[in-house]
Amino acid sequence: MKNSKIRKILRKAAFWLLVAVIVLFAVFPFYYAILTSFETGSALFDVNYLPETFSLANYVSVFKGQPFGHNIFNSVFVSFLVVALSLLLGVTASYALARVRFTGRGLLLLTILSVSMFPQVAVLSGMFELIRGVGLYNNMFGLAISYMMLTLPFTVWVLTAFMRELPRELEEAAVMDGASPWIVIRRVFLPVMWPAMVTTGLLAFIAAWNEFLFALTFTLTDDKRTVPVAIALISGASQHEMPWGNIMAASVIVTLPLIVLVLVFQRRIVSGLTAGAVKG
Amino acid sequence: MAHASSLTRARRRSAWIFLAPMLVILVAVAGWPLLRTFYFGFTDANLSDLSSYSFIGTENFYAVYDGEAFGLLTDPEWWQAVWNTLFFSVISVSLETALGMVVALVLNQNFRGRGLVRAAVLIPWAIPTIVSARMWNWMLHDQFGIINDMLMKLGILSAPIAWTASPDWAMSAVILVDVWKTTPFMALLILAALQMLPGDCYEAARVDGIHPVRVFFKVTLPLIKPAVMVAVIFRALDALRVFDVIYVLTPNNPQTTTMSVYARQQLVDFQEVGYGSAASTLLFVVIAFCIMAYIMIGRVRLDEGGH
Per-residue model confidence as pLDDT tens digits over B190-246:
998 898 888 777 777 778 888 888 888 888 888 898 889 888 988 998 999 999 999
pLDDT tens digits for range A109-145: 888 988 888 899 999 999 999 999 999 999 999 999 9
Flag if A175 and B7 touch (Cβ within 8 Å): yes
For chain A, give the DSSP string. Answer: -HHHHHHHHHHHHHHHHHHHHHHHHHHHHHHHHHHHHT--GGGGGS--SS------HHHHHHHHHS-HHHHHHHHHHHHHHHHHHHHHHHHHHHHHHHH---TTHHHHHHHHHHHTTS-GGGGHHHHHHHHHHTT-TTSHHHHHHHHHHHHHHHHHHHHHHHHHTS-HHHHHHHHHTT--HHHIIIIIIHHHHHHHHHHHHHHHHHHHHH--HHHHHH--SGGG--HHHHHHH---SSGGG--HHHHHHHHHHHHHHHHHHHHHTHHHHHHHHHHHH---
* pLDDT at position B69: 83
Among the partner-chain residues B130, B247, B284, the one whose CB lies closest to the CB of A231 is B130
Confidence of residue A72 (pLDDT cuts 50, 70, 90): very high
Among the partner-chain residues B18, B124, B131, the one whose CB lies closest to the CB of A231 is B131
Residue A279, pLDDT > 60, answer no
* pLDDT at position B306: 35
pLDDT tens digits for range A237-258: 776 678 999 999 999 999 998 8
- Asked which of A172-186, B107-121, B171-185 is least confident by mean pLDDT, the reply is A172-186
Confidence of residue A83 (pLDDT cuts 50, 70, 90): very high
B103 or B167, which is more confident: B103
pTM of the model: 0.90
Distance from the Cα of B154 to chain A's closest Cα (Å) equals 14
Flag if B283 and A119 touch (Cβ within 8 Å): yes
* pLDDT at position A1: 59
Q: For residue B280, list chain A residues with Cβ-Cβ distance below 8 A.
A: 119, 121-122, 124-125
Flag if A125 and B241 touch (Cβ within 8 Å): no
Q: For residue A232, list chain B residues with Cβ-Cβ distance below 8 A.
A: 130, 133-134, 247-248
Please give the average per-residue pLDDT across A249-272, as a whole number: 86
* pLDDT at position A199: 87
* pLDDT at position A123: 94
A78 or B115, which is more confident: A78
A270 or A86, which is more confident: A86
Q: For residue B134, list chain A residues with Cβ-Cβ distance below 8 A.
A: 231-232, 247-248, 251
Flag if B276 and A125 touch (Cβ within 8 Å): yes
Please give the average per-residue pLDDT across A56-84, as a whole number: 93
Residue B130, pLDDT > 80, answer yes
A4, A258, A273, A278: which to substitute to probe chain B, counting the most B Cβ within 10 Å? Answer: A278
Residue A278, pLDDT > 60, answer no
Q: For residue A273, list chain B residues with Cβ-Cβ distance below 8 A.
A: 185, 188-189, 192
pLDDT tens digits for range A4-52: 889 889 989 999 999 999 999 999 999 999 999 999 888 888 888 888 8
Flag if A121 and B263 touch (Cβ within 8 Å): yes
* Alpha-carbon distances, residue B269 vs B83, B204, B226, B248, B262 (angstroms): 22, 62, 42, 15, 10
Please give the average per-residue pLDDT across B106-110, as a whole number: 91
Among the partner-chain residues A117, A149, A270, the one whose CB lies closest to the CB of B29 is A149
Please give the average per-residue pLDDT across B49-73, as a whole number: 86
Distance from the Cα of A208 to chain B's closest Cα (Å) equals 10
Q: For residue A143, list chain B residues with Cβ-Cβ distance below 8 A.
A: none
Among the partner-chain residues B7, B40, B134, the one whose CB lies closest to the CB of A251 is B134
Distance from the Cα of A45 to chain B's closest Cα (Å) equals 6
Distance from the Cα of A267 to chain B's closest Cα (Å) equals 9
Flag if B280 and A119 touch (Cβ within 8 Å): yes
Residue A152, pLDDT > 70, answer yes
Residue B292, pLDDT > 70, answer yes
- Asked which of A259-263, A274-278, B122-126 is least confident by mean pLDDT, the reply is A274-278
Q: For residue B23, list chain A residues with Cβ-Cβ distance below 8 A.
A: 93
Distance from the Cα of B284 to chain A's closest Cα (Å) equals 6
Flag if A263 and B124 touch (Cβ within 8 Å): no
Distance from the Cα of B26 to chain A's closest Cα (Å) equals 7
Distance from the Cα of A36 to chain B's closest Cα (Å) equals 9
How many residue pairs from chains A and B have C-beta atoms closer than 8 A? 298
ipTM here: 0.89
Task: Give me chain A's average pLDDT, please.
Answer: 88
